[in-house]
Amino acid sequence: MAENLLVTVALSPQMIEAGSKLIERLDEIGAQVKSAFWFYLSEFRTWKLIIASESINTDGPKKFYETIVMANNSATENESTVSLNDIGVTSTDHKLVQVLAMMISTGAGIGGIRFSRNNINGVYIEDAYIYRSNR
């Protein structure tokens, strides 16, 4: 059985790998992930994996969290998974998702772009690790 990953103040290689694997599994089940990135919440000194999907606009966040649970359950026993406590889901029209998509477009694959200490249209991004960002 897969183990939940410990999210720390520093973005670890294990966190990056677990996030990437989760997005792969979500892609395999057709979850329509439009944007996915680790985002540092400085006021809480922690990271949150943010996932945006158009299906959240239509089906709501609860249904998407259920999809994440299903994807986590399909992880191999050697893979770490990201706990639901460390994941936030949002619609594709959320301001942060839109700002990142305006600055970075990764396409449909899973990339790895570090984006730190930037202020875009009044949104300050202290630190983020972007897997996918599409307009």
pLDDT in tens, 47-93: 999 999 999 989 999 999 999 999 999 999 999 999 999 999 999 99
More confident residue, 66 or 119: 66
Mean pLDDT of the chain, nearest integer: 91
Torsion over CA of 112, 114, 119 and 124, rounded to 10 degrees? Answer: 90
The Cβ of residue 71 has, within 10 Å, a number of other Cβ atoms equal to: 21
pLDDT at position 3 is 73
> Domain residues for 48?
3-133
pLDDT at position 89 is 98
Of 76-80, 94-98, 118-122, 125-129, which range is least confident?
Answer: 118-122
Percent of the chain with pLDDT over 90: 71
How far is Cα 91 from Cα 98, in angstroms, rounded to an integer?
Answer: 10
3-state class of 61 per DSSP? helix
Q: Which distant-in-sequence residues (6+ apart) come within 8 Å of 27 by Cβ? A: 33, 110
pLDDT at position 4 is 79
pLDDT at position 1 is 55
Query: Strand (E) positions, 1-135?
Result: 3-4, 33-41, 46-53, 80-81, 87-90, 113-120, 123-133
**Cβ burial, residue 109 (10 Å; 0-12/13-18/19+):** exposed
Grade residue 7 by pLDDT with cuts at 50, 70 and 90: confident
User: Where do we find the tokens 């570090």?
Assistant: 114
The structural domain count of the chain equals: 1
